[in-house]
């Protein structure tokens, strides 16, 4: 075994893991916030995430067609695209809640979950239908901005591209903003109150429906931001590419303790790192017998193990069972 190689690639793998981890963390927030207030898995969140990526690519292609992609300074372009992706995903999340979840709020537990699965499938094909009619293609590529592809060589074996830095900084800003909203504002207090006890919150004069919509808006916007960052980082998107990251992000949310916001961040990072290391080291350590393909199995096995042995997740939020 080539120990030097194993050590040599370590920093690069660590960096890749952190980027992936922040992406998962941003998506996981959507799952965890909705679970916090409604105790229900918003299965369609993976599509809300990928819709953000599609809104982003449409805005970028639109800017490109009028020549502004090169004309505007690149941070402005990025902020525009991010805001558009967040708005698109957030509004979609509210609409989905209004149409498919609210009528089922008092139904038995499995009913809204099945409805959410239906919405997820419906949205995948809706994106495909729309892009097929509009662009005659549903596998889209993010237009490149040259600055983003610049790479800095930090050491001999480690280099960082500008877009990776953008992803990390963007994700950190989002997480910080969310932290402020939830913990320092009146609205955030209301969200926490609804999560704690809906009936009591409504007795205190909180409009529960409005807060639930708001939760979907914030969770959706985080997902949309993650979608744009995903597109910027990996380039190629299609209507079905939200599914696996969504499932992984859900795993991250459970890993950190579902319903727990810091937990989602920690869970995302842990899962991202684990996957990056599995992807690079598995085939090296097993002499090529098991390759990077097994990282998905690793993630799902991890999910099963946590649910069996530590259903509260790493940060120990108590998971309530609704009858």
Partner 1 sequence: MIQALVSVGLVAGSALAVATFPRSVLVFLLFQGSLLFVYRARIPERLRWALLAAALLVLMPVIGYFNSYYLEVATQVGIFVALALGLNIVVGLAGLLDLGYVAFFAVGAYSWAIVGSPHANIIFGGGFPLAGWWFYVFLLVGLAVAATTGILLGLPVLRLHGDYLAIVTLGFGEVIRVLANNLDKPINFTNGPKGITPISRPPTPFGLPYGEYFYFLALLIVVAVVVVNRRLEDSHIGRAWEAIREDELAARAMGVPLVRMKLMAFACGASFAGVMGVLFSAKQIFINPESFTFLESIGVLAMVILGGMGSIPGAIVGATVVTVLNLQVLKGFSLWLNELKNAGVTVLGYSLADLPTQFEPAKYERMVFGIILVLMMIFRPQGIFPARRRQRELGG
Confirm or reject binding of residue 93 to partner 1 (CB under 8 A): no
Least Å from the CB of residue 67 to partner 1:
25
- Burial of residue 164 (CB within 10 Å: 0-12, 13-18, 19+) is buried
Nearer to partner 1, 71 or 291 (CB): 291
Confirm or reject binding of residue 120 to partner 1 (CB under 8 A): yes
DSSP string, 150-172: -EEE-SSS-EEEHHHHHHHHHHH
Where does 70-154 show beta strands of DSSP type E?
A: 140-141, 151-153
Residue 10's Cβ-side half-sphere holds a number of Cα atoms within 13 Å equal to 7
User: Which 100-119 residues touch partner 1, going by CB under 8 A?
Assistant: 100, 103-104, 107, 109-115, 117-119
Confirm or reject binding of residue 145 to partner 1 (CB under 8 A): no
3-state helix, strand, coil in the chain (%, to 5): 75, 5, 20
Strands 159-161 and 151-153: antiparallel
Task: Write each residue from 156 to 195 as x if it is in contact with partner 1 (CB under 8 A), else as -, in one continuous string.
Answer: ----------------------------------------
Confirm or reject binding of residue 1 to partner 1 (CB under 8 A): no
Confirm or reject binding of residue 321 to partner 1 (CB under 8 A): yes
Binding residue (CB under 8 A) for partner 1 from 10, 122, 234, 277: 122
Least Å from the CB of residue 3 to partner 1:
23
Nearer to partner 1, 17 or 313 (CB): 313
Which residues are CB-neighbours of 280 under 8 A, at least 6 positions away?
A: 9, 13, 16, 292
Closest residue by Cα to residue 232 from 57, 72, 30? 57
Write out the two tokens for 124: 């995948």
CA 229: distance to chain centroid? 10
Nearer to partner 1, 10 or 130 (CB): 130
User: Which 236-275 residues touch partner 1, going by CB under 8 A?
Assistant: 243, 247, 250-251, 254
| Helix/strand/coil for 251 | helix
Nearer to partner 1, 119 or 194 (CB): 119
Nearer to partner 1, 123 or 225 (CB): 123
| Helix/strand/coil for 106 | coil
User: Which 13-72 residues touch partner 1, going by CB under 8 A?
Assistant: 40-41
Binding residue (CB under 8 A) for partner 1 from 7, 62, 75, 132: 132
Residue where the block lists tokens 């949309």: 224
Binding residue (CB under 8 A) for partner 1 from 10, 121, 277, 281: 121
Q: Are 92 and 220 in contact (CB under 8 A)?
A: yes
Closest residue by Cα to residue 47 from 92, 105, 100? 92
Nearer to partner 1, 47 or 82 (CB): 47
Least Å from the CB of residue 243 to partner 1:
8
Positions in the binding site for partner 1 (CB under 8 A): 40-41, 100, 103-104, 107, 109-115, 117-126, 128-129, 131-133, 136-138, 243, 247, 250-251, 254, 288-291, 293-294, 296-297, 300-301, 303-304, 307-308, 311, 321
């Amino acid at each position: 075994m080539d120990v030097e190689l194993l050590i040599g690639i370590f920093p690069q793998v660590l960096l890749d893991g952190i980027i992936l981890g922040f992406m998962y963390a941003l998506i996981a927030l959507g799952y965890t916030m909705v679970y916090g207030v409604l105790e229900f898995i918003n299965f369609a969140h993976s599509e809300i995430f990928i819709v953000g990526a599609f809104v982003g690519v449409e805005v970028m292609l639109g800017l490109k067609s009028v020549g502004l992609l090169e004309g505007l300074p690149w941070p402005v372009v990025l902020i525009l695209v991010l805001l558009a992706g967040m708005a698109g995903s957030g509004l979609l999340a509210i609409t989905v809640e209004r149409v498919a979840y609210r009528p089922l709020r008092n139904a038995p537990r499995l009913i809204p979950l099945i409805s959410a699965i239906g919405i997820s499938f419906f949205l995948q094909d809706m994106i495909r239908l729309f892009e097929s009619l509009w662009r005659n293609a549903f596998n889209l590529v993010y237009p490149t901005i040259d600055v983003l592809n610049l790479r800095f060589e930090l050491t001999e074996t480690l280099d960082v591209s500008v877009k990776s830095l953008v992803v990390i900084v963007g994700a950190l800003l989002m997480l910080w903003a969310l932290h402020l909203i939830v913990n320092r504002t009146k609205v955030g207090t209301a969200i926490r109150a609804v999560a704690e006890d809906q009936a009591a919150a409504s007795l205190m004069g909180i409009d529960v429906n409005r807060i639930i919509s708001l939760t979907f808006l914030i969770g959706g916007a985080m997902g949309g931001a993650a979608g744009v960052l995903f597109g910027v980082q990996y380039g190629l998107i299609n209507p079905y590419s939200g599914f696996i990251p969504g499932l992984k992000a859900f795993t991250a949310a459970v890993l950190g303790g579902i319903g727990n916001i810091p937990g989602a961040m920690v869970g995302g990072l842990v899962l991202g790192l684990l996957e990056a290391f599995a992807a690079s080291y598995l085939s090296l350590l097993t002499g090529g017998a098991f390759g990077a393909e097994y990282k998905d199995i690793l993630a799902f096995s991890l999910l099963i193990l946590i649910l069996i042995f530590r259903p509260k997740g790493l940060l120990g939020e108590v998971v309530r069972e609704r009858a």
